């Protein structure tokens, strides 16, 4: 009898990874680059969001993201640059934070449906999730800046970095999903 195999009977490894992926999002968020004159910092958060949802699927991925947002809102220094509190949800970055939830749903759903079997499909799925973050972010950001400045402030500066994060996530998720099966 193989004791290693019996130790995992009845265990859900993906569920056990929820706090791990919450920590991944947090660590990614704490790495930030401030862009002068822009209200939204460049961070690794979206990489963590995309990885969480792609690896864990819709329900568990959303739970990891919701845990991250809840803990940050409750006072843990989890948001970009070690920030925290409800003011992050009501300030200029609030739309991006709430967009993380929607993106984790979409990317997780696509992951659950098996769309992460190869790199090119993974890139498409990750891009869809990232677009949801942008849309949610700029809709909320429009309360704080002129409409004519929305894309130049809340999207364009982040596209190169997000493309890199999408490639990284799309490279890692298929292998991680395969391993979890």
154: CATH: 1.10.1760.20
> What pLDDT, on the 0 to 100 scale, is given for residue 88?
86
Taking the C-alpha atoms of residue 71 and residue 118, their distance in angstroms, rounded to an integer, is 33
2 inside domain = no
Mean pLDDT across the chain? 87
Answer whether residue 67 is part of any domain: yes
Tell me, yes or no, whether 88 lies in a domain: yes
Query: Would you say 42 and 167 are in contact if contact means Cβ atoms under 8 Å apart?
Result: no
pLDDT for residue 141: 94
The total of structural domains in the chain comes to: 1
Which domain covers residue 99, as residue numbers? 11-180
Collapsing DSSP states into helix, strand and coil, what is residue 173? helix
* pLDDT above 90 (res 111): yes
pLDDT per residue as tens digits for the range 4-36: 444 444 456 667 889 999 999 999 888 877 777
């Amino acid at each position: 009898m193989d004791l290693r195999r019996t130790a995992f009977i009845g265990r859900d490894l993906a569920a056990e990874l929820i706090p791990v992926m919450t920590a991944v999002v947090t660590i990614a968020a704490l790495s930030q680059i401030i862009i002068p004159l822009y209200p939204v910092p460049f961070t690794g958060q979206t990489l963590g969001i995309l990885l969480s949802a792609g690896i864990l699927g819709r329900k568990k991925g959303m739970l990891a993201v919701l845990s991250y947002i809840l803990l940050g809102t409750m006072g843990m220094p989890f948001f970009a640059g070690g920030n925290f509190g409800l003011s992050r949800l009501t300030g200029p970055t609030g739309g991006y934070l709430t967009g993380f939830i929607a993106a984790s749903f979409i990317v997780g759903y696509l992951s659950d449906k098996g769309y992460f079997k190869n790199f090119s499909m993974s890139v498409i799925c990750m891009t869809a999730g990232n677009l949801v973050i942008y849309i949610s972010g700029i809709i909320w950001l429009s309360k704080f800046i002129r409409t004519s400045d929305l894309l130049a402030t809340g999207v364009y500066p982040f596209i190169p970095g997000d493309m890199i994060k999408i490639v990284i996530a799309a490279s890692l998720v298929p292998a991680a999903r395969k391993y979890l099966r």
